[in-house]
Each structure stands twice: as structure tokens, then as C-alpha cells.
Amino acid sequence: MNKALFIRAISRFLAGLLLVSGLLFIPAGTWNYPGGWLLLGILFVPMFIAGLVMMKKNPELLKKRLSVREEEKDQRRVIALSGIMFAAAFMAAGLSFRHKWLMLPAPVSLMATIVFLAAYALYAEVLRENTYLSRTVEVQKDQRVIDTGLYGLVRHPMYMATVFLFLAMPLVLGSVISFVIMLLYIPIIIKRIRNEEEVLAEGLPGYRKYMEKVKYRLIPFVW
């Protein structure tokens, strides 16, 4: 096992767990926020398991997923906007629970949990299909175009999974206000996709032909 990579991964995991917990429970003013605990469970338990699997079977992929140094100027803006959006959405959910602002009934939260877990499974499948996945927009050494499996349906199945993941989060938390804020993810991810495709079309051999072959970027028969 790569000890340095393990320490880096577990540190990033714990930092994320503490950050999300603080953004949820401090505004809520209580630890007794069932939706908050539910989200932490379905978000971080699979994340922890996936990290262990990647550590054992594909540490190079885990290393790529931990990289956050973005070279593209447009993508740095996207990351900054995403961070603000997530912080605002989580805080809004906590405040909504505290003050009972437009809270959704428990069955909605449970249905959203099912959607979230299904999207997580979809995300895991994308990671299995494409070992070149990185958190930054770049063309990697010896990278090739993946055009089978989910990549035969849409050009960005990972982003498709994240749309369902992120829109399900505020519903798991039971907050209408948080859901409205999280809708901003749609224009944010559209901007990221357009910039990413410019980079890949310019630097990855065969990507332009792939774009002609697979027409839809994010959602089949929609866009």
C-alpha cells in the first residue's frame, strides 16, 4: 500500500466530512437533524468504500481523483462557483430545518435517497469504465477515447451521474430552498462541459470523431 497516498486520501476524506457536517449542523443549531445524518451516511460511507477499493485495485485512479490543481482558467471559475453553491445549499438546508422553512415530507427524502444511491452506482460504473478520469480538465499521457458502455450513450456520463447526485442531495435533506440553490449546478456543469470538450477536441486524437458519433453530451435525447 502507498502510505503517502493513503494518508492524503484519508485526510481529504475527513476534511470533507467535517466541512459538510459543519455546514449542515451549525446552521441547524442541533445534532438532531435526521436528514443531515442520512446524507452524511449515503454520501461518505460509499465514498470511503470506493476509496479503499481504488487504493487496492487502482491507486493511480485514486491519485487522479484527489488532484484538484486546475490549469484551465474557466475551470477554476467553475470550481469556485461550485464551492459557493454547495456551501450555500448545505447552510440553507440547515437553516430551513432550524426554522421550518419549506421542509419536504419524509417520503420525499426516502425517494431521493434511492435516486442518490442509484446515481452513486452509476458514478462507480463510470469510474470502472474510464481509468483516465481526473478531477481536472486535461489530456493525459497515452489517453485514448472511451466510446463503449455508458460512453456510447452520452459523452459525459460522469457529469450525468453528478447531476442526479447533487439534485438529490437537497431533497434528502428535505429542503426546497436548498434544492433551488442546487439547480445552479446545471448551468455550471454546462459551462464546464463546453470548455472540457474544447480541450479534448484540441488535444485528444479521435475525440472529434467521437463527438460526431455520440451526439448527446449529458442526457440521452435531451442535450
Residue with cell string 490549469: 71
What confidence score (pLDDT) does residue 196 get? 87
Judge residue 157's burial from the number of C-beta atoms within 10 Å of its C-beta, 0-12 exposed, 13-18 middle, 19 or more buried.
buried
- Give pTM, 2 decimals: 0.88
pLDDT one-digit tens code per residue, 48-76: 988 888 888 878 777 777 766 666 676 77
Residue at 139: amino acid letter? V
pLDDT one-digit tens code per residue, 157-216: 999 999 999 999 999 999 999 999 999 999 999 988 998 898 888 888 888 998 999 999
**Enclosing H/E stretch for 164:** helix 157-172
What confidence score (pLDDT) does residue 141 get? 60
pLDDT one-digit tens code per residue, 142-158: 678 888 888 889 999 99
* Closest alpha carbon to 208 in 142, 125, 147: 147
What confidence score (pLDDT) does residue 56 get? 82
Residue at 146: amino acid letter? I
pLDDT one-digit tens code per residue, 96-131: 999 999 999 999 999 999 999 999 999 888 888 876
Set out the domains of the chain in order of their start, with CATH numbers: 3-132+140-213 (1.20.120.1630)
- Per-residue three-class SS string for 80-124: HHHHHHHHHHHHHHHHHHHHCCCECCHHHHHHHHHHHHHHHHHHH
Residue with cell string 474510464: 130
Q: Give the separation between CA 3 and CA 50, rounded to whole angstroms.
A: 17
Helix, strand, or coil here: 175? strand
Which residues, in sequence order, are CB contacts of 13 under 8 Å at separation 6+? 44, 47, 48, 51
What confidence score (pLDDT) does residue 183 get? 97
